[in-house]
Amino acid sequence: MRFSTDVLLRHKFTLLLIIFGLALLAFVLGIARISLPGTVIARSNVWVTVVCLKSMIVMTYEIVTQRLARFQKWASLKANAILGVLEPLFWFTAFILSCMGVSGRCQGGGCALGVILVLLALVLSALTLCLAIMSVQEYRHFKADRHNGPTKTTKNSNHSDATKESTSHRQHLGLDGVPSRASRGV
C-alpha cells in the first residue's frame, strides 16, 4: 500500500516528538542504571546513553528546522533522509548490546532497568525505521517536484541550494501561502 506524501508529512512531526520523548526516557533510565551501586560501567550501558543523546540532537535538528522560520535556512531534506537512515542502525545496535549486557551479569534493579532499556531500544529501532522511510519518501517527492519544474519562481536567483530546498519544502507544506500539491488537486 502506497501512502500519499502529504499523509506521511502530517504524521512525521508527531513521530519525531514520540521518538524524542522515548529517547529522553531511555537516556534517563540509562543514567539511572549506570548510577546504581554495583553496576559495572560496560560498553552496553554507555552505548545506550550515547545513542540517546545523538538521537535527541538529530530529532531537535529536524524539529527546529521544520517548525521555526528562523532556522529554515539550515533545513535539508537530503540530510534528514541520511540521518533518518542511520538512526535505526544505531538503535538496533543499542538493542543488541543491551541484550548482551542483560544476558550477562546483572542483578536487582539494574537488571530490571536493563530489560526496560532493551524493550525501549527495540521500539525506537522500529519507530526510527518508519521515520527513515518517511524521510526518504519526502526527499524523493521533493526531488521529483524539483525536476518537474518549480511551483514558484524566486526573485533572487542567488540563493544557495539549501535555501531553495527549504523554500520549496515550505511551499510543499503550504507554509508560504503557496498551496501544496494536495490542495491544488494534483
Residues 36-77 pLDDT 10s? 887 778 888 899 999 999 999 999 999 999 889 999 899 999
Listed residue (112, 110, 107, 119) closest to 26, CA to CA:
119
**Confidence (pLDDT) at 165:** 54
Helix H or strand E encompassing 156: none
Q: Enter the C-alpha cell of residue 76.
A: 535539508
Mean pLDDT, range 7-17, rounded to an integer: 84
Q: Is the pLDDT of residue 181 over 80?
A: no
As given in the structure block, the three cell numbers for residue 82 are: 541520511
- pLDDT classification of 143: cutoffs 50, 70, 90: confident
How far is CA 171 from each of CA 31, 96, 150, 166, 182, rounded to the nearest angstrom?
42, 41, 10, 9, 12
- Identify the residue whose cell numbers are 545496535: 93
Q: What is the pLDDT of residues 116-134, one digit of tens each?
A: 999 999 999 999 999 999 9
pTM over 0.85: no
